[in-house]
Amino acid sequence: MQRIGVFVCWCGSNIAATVDVEAVSQALAKEPGVVHSANYQYMCSQAGQDLIRAAIKEHKLTGIVVCSCSPRMHEMTFRKTAESAGINPYMVEIANIREQCSWIHKDILTGTEKAIVLGRTAIAKVNLNAPLTAGESPVTKRALVIGGGIAGIQTALDIADAGFEVDIVEKNPTIGGKMAQLDKTFPTLDCAACILTPKMVDVAQHEKIRIFSYSEVAAVKGFVGNFDVTIKKKARYVREDVCTGCGLCTEKCPVKKVPNEFNLGMDTRRAIYIPFAQAVPKVATIDADYCNMLKNGKCGVCSKVCTAKAIDYEQKDTLIEEKYGAIVVATGFNPISMEKFDEYAYSQSKDVVTSLEFERIMNAAGPTQGKLVRPSDGKHPHTLVFVQCVGSRCANCAEKGKEYCSKICCMYTAKHAMLTRDKYPDTDVYVFYIDVRTPGKNFDEFYRRAAEEYGVHYVKGMVGKVMPEGDKLMVRASDLIANKQINIAADMVILAAAIEPDKSARSIATMLTASMDTNDFFTEAHPKLRPVESPTAGIFLSGACQGPKDIPETVAQAGAAAAKVIGLLAKDKLKGNPCVASSNELMCNGCSSCERVCPYGAISYVDKEFRGPNRTVLVRRVAQVNPAVCQGCGACTVACPSGAMDLKGFATKQIMAEVDAICK
């Protein structure tokens, strides 16, 4: 039996004006378990707390009920008071007789009556309270960043600068991501490579950062502060520690017709290649799908020309095990396939390109050395048509496009149109738009400059069809302002393809038990207040894996994610919330209902031995809650059909007792 002390606060006249505090404390003194009952002007004051501490000592109290303001106000205060007097802080319950009683009732009789019921309810609960201790777990002071684009790079640099070790896992042979493929960046038009490559070098040279390029995350176990991650390092058939990146092999390799993914297949590379000049790490990689030596053992040219002896045809995929305290997802995006949008003739004409392809064409390091020419015949185009929202804002066509706005297209299209007009004043540039969306600093000014100063023709309307005819592309579109259908004989058509999360994201989300929305974007812990955290503790989100983003937003979010990681890694131990779910293994029937509803992946199943009748041993599958991951929502407790799952601090019995006390 508990020895409960009840403390009724007057809160000056806030409570005392409509609640007869003396009557309340007298009434509650008669409740079962109550051995002491008192009232005081301000319980939260130093004197009030001293009064509680003294009573704890004097009456050997085991539980406390404070009838006062909302627990959202002073629950913490009174818990600390209790703890300082030597009883468990979770043996304190608050009866909210201010916000939920004295402030809303005018009649002292009504107020007093209700306050007594509320106090009785809290006492009923405390009678069933048990001391709770928050679990502690150590923190591995190292972070993993999945994805080496600008988001991953920025997050890694910020974490490393705070003095923590960071590993970047990048599936491609080099870090840099999409930004490395861009030409200029809006709205300032600085060159992407000029601002990105120094950061890539910083990453490479940072003593706290390791890069696992051409690698993938293969498995993740553990929980916040204690993740065990298996990284698969794919065989690149070149020894990274030896290769000097001289590039001789990439010039001598006889297999010349490999589509160059860095230029989106618009030119070719060799079977051994370095994606681009500023690649980090600057190490060659052999493409096993094309290499003659790896396919049929006939070649070996690269090995012969390599003075550093870095080529190793025998290299195998290797698995690396590493421990991390936090994981940042920065898996990025890709433009969607244009295959299903053949009304724009993407598969029928080489001169219909996506914006990312156009970006490569405009880039000095691209397939045309930055000269704007038609991919089909190398001629200079005079009329260019940009089509916005290709696959974005596309409802009712899930197999084709995406329902969301891809956010970045309006701005990069304005950039492309402006740069085209700037470099080639002899061109006619049309942009077909549904809406021009430019909410960003200096964004709308930029778009207006494209239209006003550079003479880009912005047409409100959509392109309906593109038809290659001879060496022209006949573009049929509507001009909604003029209420006309217009036909343009264009030389090039550029499609602003919708963007989607990288295909690798889903399998990573599964490994991390991080949740995703229907579009495969990672969901944040709170859409407004916790935008860079996943609901799963210890998992953080950086960049376009969470939603379409431009570079400034990505960098800002990357920094925010880093700050959250630093906050976590700075702790030596993590103190959990003790009000977590726990399963009574004797009652658990192993049905997995709880596991399915848990939003945090905190529940797992283990096979456990139990003593059966006649000295037999039974192995049963039972649920186990990881208290470090559980956030204490209680969804599992209701899902559990056998009543094995319960929530500490809000146990079924406690809530039942409260219900009974109210209904008495």
Q: Which of residues 364-403 bind other proteins (CB under 8 A)?
A: 389, 393-397, 401
Footprint on residues 17-76 left by other proteins (CB under 8 A) = 70-72
Binding segment for other proteins (CB under 8 A), chosen from 32-40, 199-207, 360-368, 626-634, is 626-634
What is the Cα–Cα distance from 515 to 510, expressed in whole angstroms?
8
Residue 439 or 470 with smaller CB distance to other proteins: 470
Q: Which of residues 280, 477, 560, 603 is near other proteins by CB under 8 A? A: 477
Residue 106 or 256 with smaller CB distance to other proteins: 106
Interaxial angle between packed helices 355-362 and 409-423, expressed in degrees from 0 to 180 and rounded to the nearest 10: 30
Footprint on residues 70-109 left by other proteins (CB under 8 A) = 70-72, 96, 98-101, 103-106
Q: Which of residues 506, 526, 575, 653 is near other proteins by CB under 8 A? A: 526
What are the structure tokens assigned to 161, written together? 């600068």
CB atoms within 10 A of CB 48: 22
Nearest-approach distance from CB 337 to other proteins, in angstroms: 12
Q: What is the dihedral of CA 313, 315, 316, 322, to 10 degrees?
A: -160
Nearest-approach distance from CB 101 to other proteins, in angstroms: 8
Q: Which of residues 408, 579, 603, 623 is near other proteins by CB under 8 A? A: 579
Residue 120 or 270 with smaller CB distance to other proteins: 120
Nearest-approach distance from CB 348 to other proteins, in angstroms: 6
CA 385 and chain centroid, separation: 36
Binding segment for other proteins (CB under 8 A), chosen from 287-295, 441-449, 504-512, 631-639, is 631-639
Binding segment for other proteins (CB under 8 A), chosen from 157-165, 353-361, 371-379, 522-530, is 522-530
Q: Binding to other proteins by residue 332, rule CB under 8 A?
A: no
CB atoms within 10 A of CB 128: 17
Q: Which of residues 460, 553, 559, 563 is near other proteins by CB under 8 A? A: 460
Q: Binding to other proteins by residue 570, rule CB under 8 A?
A: no
Distances (CA, A) of 509 to 136, 520, 545: 26, 9, 10
Nearest-approach distance from CB 548 to other proteins, in angstroms: 17
Phi, psi for 470 (deg, rounded to 5): 60, -130
Nearest-approach distance from CB 120 to other proteins, in angstroms: 10
Q: Which of residues 89, 275, 501, 535 is near other proteins by CB under 8 A? A: 535
Q: Binding to other proteins by residue 277, rule CB under 8 A?
A: no
Q: Which of residues 205, 483, 518, 614 is near other proteins by CB under 8 A? A: 483
Closest CA to 130 of 62, 68, 181, 196: 62
Give the burial class of 581: count Cβ atoms within 10 A of its Cβ; 0-12 exposed, 13-18 middle, 19 or more buried: buried
Q: Binding to other proteins by residue 470, rule CB under 8 A?
A: yes
Q: Which of residues 266, 365, 373, 467 is near other proteins by CB under 8 A? A: 467
In 165-196, which positions are buried (b, 16+ CB within 10 angstroms) versus exposed (e)? bbbbbbbbbbbbbbbbbbbbbbbeeeebbeeb
Q: Which of residues 51, 55, 87, 118 is near other proteins by CB under 8 A? A: 118
Q: Could you please report the per-residue DSSP string of 591-643?
A: --HHHHH-TT--EEEEEEEEE-GGG-EEEEEEEEE-TTT-----HHHHH-SSS
Residue 141 or 402 with smaller CB distance to other proteins: 402
Q: Binding to other proteins by residue 584, rule CB under 8 A?
A: no
Binding segment for other proteins (CB under 8 A), chosen from 184-192, 269-277, 376-384, 469-477, is 469-477
Nearest-approach distance from CB 99 to other proteins, in angstroms: 3
Nearest-approach distance from CB 176 to other proteins, in angstroms: 33
Left if phi > 0, otherwise alpha if psi is -120 to 50, otherwise beta: which for 60? left
Q: Binding to other proteins by residue 342, rule CB under 8 A?
A: yes
What is the Cα–Cα distance from 276 to 250, expressed in whole angstroms?
11
Distances (CA, A) of 20 to 28, 43, 93, 101, 110: 12, 16, 21, 12, 10
Residue 53 or 476 with smaller CB distance to other proteins: 476
Alpha helices in 323-367 (DSSP H): 355-362
In the DSSP assignment, the letter for residue 379 is P
User: Are the C-beta atoms of 413 and 496 separated by less than 8 Å?
Assistant: yes
What is the Cα–Cα distance from 119 to 12, expressed in whole angstroms?
19
Alpha helices in 7-107 (DSSP H): 13-16, 21-29, 46-59, 71-84
Footprint on residues 348-367 left by other proteins (CB under 8 A) = 348
- What is the contact mask toward other proteins in residues 418 to 437, using x (rule: CB under 8 A)? --------------x-x---
- What is the contact mask toward other proteins in residues 289 to 328, using x (rule: CB under 8 A)? ----------------------------------------
Q: Binding to other proteins by residue 132, rule CB under 8 A?
A: no
Q: Binding to other proteins by residue 9, rule CB under 8 A?
A: no
What is the Cα–Cα distance from 176 to 197, expressed in whole angstroms?
8
Residue given tokens 């990689």 in the structure block: 285
Residue 318 or 348 with smaller CB distance to other proteins: 348
Q: Which of residues 35, 117, 134, 246 is near other proteins by CB under 8 A? A: 117
Q: Could you please report the per-residue DSSP string of 134-160?
A: --EEE---EEEEE--SHHHHHHHHHHH
Q: Which of residues 87, 180, 385, 463 is near other proteins by CB under 8 A? A: 463
What is the Cα–Cα distance from 248 to 56, expressed in whole angstroms?
81
